[in-house]
């Protein structure tokens, strides 16, 4: 008896990456509820700056983290985007241009794209140290031009604008800071998603290859200069959008936005956040706003503290904060994190002791140099320090030395424990592979 095979339709579904959807959903939720948790005007201003910084740092990381291109002048593209955006805003305010205020940041993005295409063609013809030096030269050139052409750059006073322009749409005028924040949040989410999508494209993968092995890329027939150039333009586009949002947020643009200090801040905090991970620049952006806004208000020596933190990260965590998170997530995935949490507490405690002692010395030195007119005493961490008393100096030095000694002792024990833990994880991985 012949076998009759029924023809039935078969449907194949590509499984959804539930974890990725959860992460992006959580990211959107955080952006939405953040101003509802922190309701003050100062908090909204901080959140707005964080959103702008996230776009700018992610755009810079397209070069540094994804393409291995160290740029010392990337503020040029965000800064020129800011200037074009503020001039566009003034045209809108004067009724000479019919453009919604919400689209003004896109003008900044187009400006960043234009200038990155113009300057990037020359810049990306070289790589490595030569590329870095060219970007530094271009950055200094544009900054000097900003002081020489006051008609466009506004001189030392900069260019001002008013974002409350045109007719309100659904009651939105962008006058209140919270409305400005939500505009920045929308741009932040869309730009972040777009840059993440870029890392999954063939061009994004090829950019990683150019970073890791440019000789092999050339061997298989691709132009490394062409890949770098396309990535450079993409980075300029998103940098310009960040600059346009900054122009709307602050309603003033000065020559400082194209200066070396701004470019250095992008480099510093992208590195601190973790350039080799996509979410690393997001962490770096948060740290940048905290350092530039909060830390600068707490102490005059904030730049020194920032330099010490950078030095510490280079020595002990060159992969940035993101690398520390990923290493511990790996440990947690194997259920080993509970074995070292006491060591983390010991490291944190001894580091805080060393930091307190070192900060006492730094604050007293700065008080001697800049605050002598206020008297020899100062308040720090609830204690009164006398810069003219040997006891204060000896006490601060003793606390610092004790903290450093204890930290080094705990650190060495932690390194041994961490090594043993990694060996256990490797054995567990081999065991699971053998079973499979």
| Three-state DSSP class for residue 317 | coil
Contact 107/242 with Cβ under 8 angstroms? no
What does 7-26 look like in DSSP terms, one character per residue?
A: -------PPP-HHHHHHHHH
Q: Look at domain 20-319 and name its CATH class.
A: mainly alpha
Q: What is the pLDDT of residue 314?
A: 84
Angle at alpha carbon of residue 252, lines to 251 and 258, rounded to 5°: 130
Cα–Cα distance for residue pair 96/304, rounded to 1 Å: 47
Angle at alpha carbon of residue 385, lines to 383 and 387, rounded to 5°: 170
Count of CB atoms situated within 10 Å of the CB of 317: 15
User: In this predicted model, what pLDDT tens digit does every residue of 57-100 receive, in sequence order?
Assistant: 999 999 999 999 999 999 999 999 999 999 999 999 888 888 88
pLDDT in tens, the chain (436 residues): 444 444 455 444 455 567 788 889 999 999 999 999 988 888 999 999 999 999 999 999 999 999 999 999 999 999 999 999 999 999 998 888 888 889 999 999 999 999 999 999 999 988 888 999 999 999 999 998 888 888 889 888 889 988 887 677 777 788 889 999 999 999 999 999 999 999 999 999 999 999 989 889 888 888 999 999 999 999 999 999 999 999 999 999 999 999 888 999 999 999 999 988 999 999 999 999 998 888 888 788 888 888 888 888 888 888 889 988 888 888 888 888 888 888 999 999 999 999 999 988 988 888 887 766 677 787 877 778 888 888 888 989 999 999 999 999 999 999 999 888 889 888 888 888 888 6
For the chain, the structural domain boundaries read 20-319, 334-435
Strand partners, 380: 383
Q: What is the pLDDT of residue 346?
A: 92
Q: What is the pLDDT of residue 372?
A: 60
Q: What is the pLDDT of residue 1?
A: 45
């Amino acid at each position: 008896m012949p076998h009759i095979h029924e023809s039935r339709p078969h449907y194949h579904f590509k499984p959804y990456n539930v974890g990725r959807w959860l992460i992006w959903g959580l990211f959107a939720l955080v952006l939405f509820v953040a101003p509802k948790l922190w309701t003050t005007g100062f908090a909204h201003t901080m959140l707005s700056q964080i959103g702008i910084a996230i776009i700018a740092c992610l755009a810079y990381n397209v070069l540094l983290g994804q393409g291995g291109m160290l740029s010392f002048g990337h503020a040029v593209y965000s800064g020129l985007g800011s200037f074009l955006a503020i001039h566009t805003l003034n045209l809108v305010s004067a009724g000479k241009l019919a453009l919604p205020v919400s689209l003004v940041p896109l003008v900044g993005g187009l400006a960043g794209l234009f200038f990155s295409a113009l300057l990037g063609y020359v810049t990306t013809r070289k790589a490595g140290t030569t590329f870095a030096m060219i970007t530094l030269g271009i950055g200094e050139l544009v900054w000097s031009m900003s002081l020489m052409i006051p008609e466009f750059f506004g001189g030392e006073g900069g260019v001002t604008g008013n974002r409350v322009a045109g007719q309100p749409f659904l009651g939105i005028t962008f006058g209140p800071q919270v409305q400005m924040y939500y505009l920045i949040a929308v741009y932040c989410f869309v730009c972040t998603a777009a840059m993440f999508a870029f890392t999954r494209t063939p061009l994004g993968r090829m950019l990683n290859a150019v970073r890791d092995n440019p000789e092999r890329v050339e061997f298989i027939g691709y132009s490394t200069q062409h890949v770098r150039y396309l990535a450079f333009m993409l980075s300029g586009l998103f940098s310009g959008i960040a600059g346009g949002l900054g122009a709307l947020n602050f309603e003033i643009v000065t020559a400082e936005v194209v200066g070396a200090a701004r470019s250095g801040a992008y480099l510093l905090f992208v590195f601190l956040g973790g350039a080799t991970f996509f979410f690393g620049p997001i962490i770096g952006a948060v740290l940048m706003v905290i350092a530039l806004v909060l830390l600068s208000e707490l102490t005059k020596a904030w730049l020194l503290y920032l330099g010490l933190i950078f030095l510490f990260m280079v020595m002990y965590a060159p992969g940035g904060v993101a690398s520390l998170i990923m290493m511990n997530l790996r440990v947690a995935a194997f259920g080993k994190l509970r074995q070292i949490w006491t060591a983390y507490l010991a490291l944190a405690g001894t580091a805080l002791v060393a930091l307190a002692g070192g900060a006492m010395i730094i604050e007293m030195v700065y008080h001697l140099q800049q605050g002598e007119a206020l008297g020899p005493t100062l308040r720090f961490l609830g204690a009164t320090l006398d810069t003219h008393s040997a006891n204060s100096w000896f006490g601060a030095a003793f606390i610092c030395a004790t903290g450093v000694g204890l930290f080094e002792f705990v650190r060495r024990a932690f390194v041994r424990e961490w090594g043993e833990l990694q060996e256990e994880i490797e054995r567990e991985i081999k065991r699971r592979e053998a079973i499979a």
